[in-house]
Amino acid sequence: MPITVGHDSSGTRKTLSAGGASVAYYSIPAAEAAGLGDFSRLPASLKVVLENMLRFEDGKTVTTDDIKAFAEWAEKGGKNPREIAYRPARVLMQDFTGVPAVVDLAAMRDGIVALGGDAQQINPLNPVDLVIDHSVMIDEFGNPRAFQMNVDREYERNIERYTFLKWGQKAFNNFRVVPPGTGICHQVNLEYLAQTVWTDKDQNGEEVAYPDTLVGTDSHTTMVNGLAVLGWGVGGIEAEAAMLGQPISMLIPEVIGFKLTGAMKEGTTATDLVLKVVEMLRKKGVVGKFVEFYGDGLDNVPLADRATIGNMAPEYGATCGFFPIDDETLKYLELTGRDKDRIALVEAYAKENGMWRDPGYEPVYTDTLELDMADVVPAISGPKRPQDHIALSEAATAFSTYVKGQREGKDATEKAEGRWEGEGGQPEPVDIPGDEGHHKRGYVSTEDGSYQMHDGSIVIASITSCTNTSNPYVMIGAGLVARKARELGLNRKPWVKTSLAPGSQVVTSYLEAANLQDDLDAIGFNLVGYGCTTCIGNSGPLAPEISKCINDNDLIGVSVLSGNRNFEGRISPDVRANYLASPPLVVAYALVGDMNVDIWADPIGQDKDGKDVYLKDIWPSQAEIAELVEKTVTRSAFQEKYADVFKGDEKWQEVETTDSETYDWPPSSTYVQNPPYFQGMDKEPGEITNIEGARILAILGDMVTTDHISPAGSFKDSTPAGKYLIDRQVPLREFNSYGSRRGNHEVMMRGTFANIRIKNEMLDGVEGGYTLGPDGEQTSIFDAAMAYQKEGTPLVVFGGEQYGAGSSRDWAAKGTNLLGVKAVIAESFERIHRSNLVGMGVIPFEFTGGDDRTSLGLKGDETVSISGLDTVKPLAEVLATITYGDGSTKEITLKCRIDTAIEVEYVEHGGVLHYVLRNLAGAAA
């Protein structure tokens, strides 16, 4: 489908010859020559957005004043928060977020037909790629059959979803599906889909070159920033609007420059670097801002390392973590099998349009910070947040301190009740390094022998996630650690569930070429699947006896993973402490099996002769790693593995579906149901109304993540979602996960605010999705919400700082909406979740004047009324009245976080998709 560009009133459209062809492009130097301003010192990331304005300038949606605003941004020292309409080139999805997006599109087809329109009006206008990567679960591990058995179970569990997605691939134009077992969406994007400079025909049939840009329905879309592709995560709601031709309304962002100097020391990895970057940028505060990396140190940062840093932009809170185009970009495009003519175009275009990083590149930034990479040390992050950086040399001490805090705080009563370590006739416990009498213990007996487990036993060690498995340096490093450990006779501890889930088949190719997969297999890191697995919560069940020991003794089990997320309740219901680490360290920790061991200084085991082995004895040198990377990571491997990327295996090819324009919703499906959003929708929008007499559904603390609001992992039969499935004769073994059931609103609304670690401050010391119902009694949040809905009572939620941090999870907003919540009032919001709430018609508000949930003394028995919404303007301040349980009242001022004029319209319509649907139906009429 051709792109529709603007009318080029400023004369910036020029012609460029490269790679044996001529293409049109929109020239930033030509804009300067036309008197639109001086753009020479803009950061490269902002020049990408500027080019977007030049290309779509039409005098209406985008004006010359929008273009001039970028020059003013530089003049004002990196600040000019003007609202602009930005149009990304394409959309990337994964199946957890992609299924509900396709469900919405299918429902919109039903909706537009009901409004008198044509089903074919609902089609992506921009290219959409959906990669199925979130569904494989680690049921089987540590043996040669693990991969095939996990794939078989994946298809058994998810055939309804896959049938639906295959229908969508047939039914919608401009929509492609990368089948299961191929890789993780961000790695497939980095290695194959992304082009750095995109080309397409415009409405006049002329080929146009422009920067490759995208939005994705996964927050780690930012990984492709390492390839100088501007992309970031949005909620599925916003992505659906973008694919249907709706521009993304945004403010010209501030850009923080992060200067890298020096080079990494021997023994450190890209993971160590990114964990340090996360810590520094979280401390700096970059929410809603671009981060651009610059400095001569970039000459020492391979593109795989840049992708690792870009990947974790959501963890440091930024919209993106961008790296400009340079020689390393071209080298990677060549390595990964991109077309030679395209590579020539990337170089010519970047140099012509001022997006190339030369030596001394130092544009205007809003603010800067700097890191000498020689100062980076081996590290992990945890136990609950990615930004909690811990030097490896301090890891054991930090864990012991964490356990002590957990035990002497939360669990002080248990010591008095006799449920403490070693009681009940158990064998005398062994010493735990760093133990000060606050660790709990339990014992596991199996046919192979007995062993002790205690606070700190590592029960999951997983090489997983796009963040690191895309990086051959750390993957080869992990393989070499395994080889050296195997040669010395070391093996994983029997209680550790080990797994290897690469982000693409290319990883398997080079691990096998280097003969390292055999070494990884020997210590339990067999291939379990190509997908997100542990990082998304698909770690699968622990052995029953281990799970029982943890839960019976209330142990603090530990996971170590090479992922990007370690939020509470995410990785496994049996694991309380989760640490992010490099793949080589994941292997090392599997050998140790205990977080209390100081693997930096103490022995990690004994060799075949009984001699102590230290971490340095199995750690490979950078030269060893580089030599193997150079030898085994080849252009031909990438070309071979991506030759039939959309074809899939025999299982995918056997999935049968229909050719209908609209979806025939199966009434008995527990995976895919027609959502209620567009059913009975009026042709005209309503008005925003004031909130009167709302009750409080939950009072939540700081850093409440979208994982807390809408968990992705497994759930029990005692939960509202579990009861729903049991009522429909779904056995516990077939529950799958919340993430896999995002196509069914009935499951997902029951799972909203249902994370096992969420804490509602209305209740004293209670964890999980509970609140007070209309009768004042404790009940599940879902049951309370339904009771309030029956009464016609609106609801509000209170929160603390960084409300909605983490994943770009549209169900965190959808579920909030379906529970009847009209407003969320917090100290601050993370970017994506705020946008998602608005996109679902839920209004976000921020406290002003020093008020917060604590200072207001909220208990949960109050009612809340908010006025001024019927005439609300973007970022307006409005009055809220809180009526306490004793009848007293307090008035406070709230800042309404409907940020732009178009967002006001979205809320008037009841959400962004309602807005798009009514516009399309109106155009048809």
pTM: 0.86
Distance CA 485, CA 618 (A): 6
Tokens representing 583 are 């793949």
* Length of the chain counted residue by residue: 925
pLDDT for 115 equals: 87
Return the pLDDT at 736: 84
Task: Please report, for residues 17, 405, 493, 495, the alpha-carbon distance to residue 421 in angstroms, rounded to integers and kept in the order given.
Answer: 74, 16, 22, 19
Which residues lie below 8 Å from residue 176, measured CB to CB, with a gap of 6+? 127, 128, 129, 130, 169, 646
* Coil, helix or strand at residue 547: helix
- The label of the residue with tokens 């976080």 reads 897
pLDDT given at position 428: 41
| DSSP H/E element including 626 | helix 622-632
| pLDDT confidence of residue 497 | 96
Supply the DSSP string of 183-219, one letter for each residue. Answer: B-HHHHIIIII--SEEEEEBTTS-EEEEE-EEEESSG
Can you give the pLDDT at residue 372? 98
In single-letter form, the type of residue at position 114 comes to A
* Cβ atoms of 652 and 179 closer than 8 Å: yes
Residue 396 has pLDDT above 90, yes or no: yes
Q: The dihedral of CA 117, 118, 121, 122: what is its sign?
A: positive
Q: Mean per-residue pLDDT for 641-650?
A: 92
First to last CA, the chain: 23
Q: What percent of the chain has pLDDT over 70?
A: 97
pLDDT at residue 435 tops 60: no
The residues that bridge with 452 in the sheet, in sequence order, are 443
Cross-strand partners of 198:
210
Q: Which residues contact 546 (CB under 8 A, 6 or more apart)?
A: 444, 453, 459, 495, 574
DSSP string, 318-387: -SEEE--B-HHHHHHHHHTT--HHHHHHHHHHHHHTT-B--TT-----SEEEEEEGGG---EEE-SS-TT
Q: Among 293-302, 453-462, 508-517, 569-578, name the one with the lowest average pLDDT.
A: 569-578
- Can you say whether the dihedral through the CA atoms of 66, 72, 78, 81 is positive or negative? negative
| Fold classification of 691-711+758-909 (topology level) | Aconitase; domain 4 (3.20.19)
In the DSSP assignment, the letter for residue 169 is: H
Chain mean pLDDT for the chain: 92
Cα–Cα distance measured from residue 439 to residue 426, given in angstroms and rounded to the nearest whole number = 15
Q: Give the count of beta carbons closer than 10 Å to the beta carbon of residue 16.
A: 18
Give the Cα separation of 916 and 122 in Å (integer): 10
CA contacts within 13 A on the Cβ side of 558: 28
Find which of 403-417, 423-437, 585-599 is predicted with most confidence, using mean pLDDT: 585-599
Q: Residue 144 pLDDT more than 90? A: yes
Q: Where are the domains of the chain?
A: 393-414+421-633, 691-711+758-909
Cα–Cα distance measured from residue 194 to residue 242, given in angstroms and rounded to the nearest whole number: 18
pLDDT greater than 50 at residue 417: no
pLDDT at residue 319 is higher than 60? yes
Do 393-414+421-633 and 691-711+758-909 agree at the fold level? no
Task: Determine contact, residues 94/217, Cβ cutoff 8 Å.
Answer: yes
Q: Which of 1-5, 536-540, 681-685, 786-790 has the highest mean pLDDT?
A: 786-790
**pLDDT at residue 414 in the model:** 33
Asked if the model's pLDDT at residue 431 lies above 90, the reply is no
Instruction: Confirm if 532 and 464 have CB atoms less than 8 A apart.
Output: yes
DSSP per-residue letters across 253-268: PPEEEEEEES-PPTT-
Q: Mean pLDDT over residues 883-894, rounded?
A: 96
- Within 8 A by CB and 6+ apart from 344, the residues are 18, 19, 20
Q: Is the pLDDT confidence value at 426 over 50?
A: no
Could you tell me which residues are beta bridge partners of residue 445? 450
Distance (Å, whole) CA 807 – CA 813: 12
pLDDT at 436: 55
Residue 6: what pLDDT? 80
Task: Give the pLDDT confidence of 357-382 residue by residue, as tens digits.
Answer: 999 999 999 999 999 999 999 999 99
- In whole angstroms, how far apart are CA 481 and each of 68, 241, 465, 570, 608? 54, 46, 19, 28, 17
By C-alpha distance, which of 593, 568, 583, 584 is closest to 497? 593
Query: Tell me, what's the pLDDT at 1?
Result: 64
Query: Which whole number is the average pLDDT over 864-881?
Result: 96
Three-state SS for 60?
A: coil
Q: Is the domain 393-414+421-633 a CATH 3.30.499.10 member?
A: yes
Dump pLDDT digits (tens) for 155-210: 998 898 899 999 999 999 999 999 999 999 999 999 999 999 999 999 889 999 99
d(CA 175, CA 631): 37
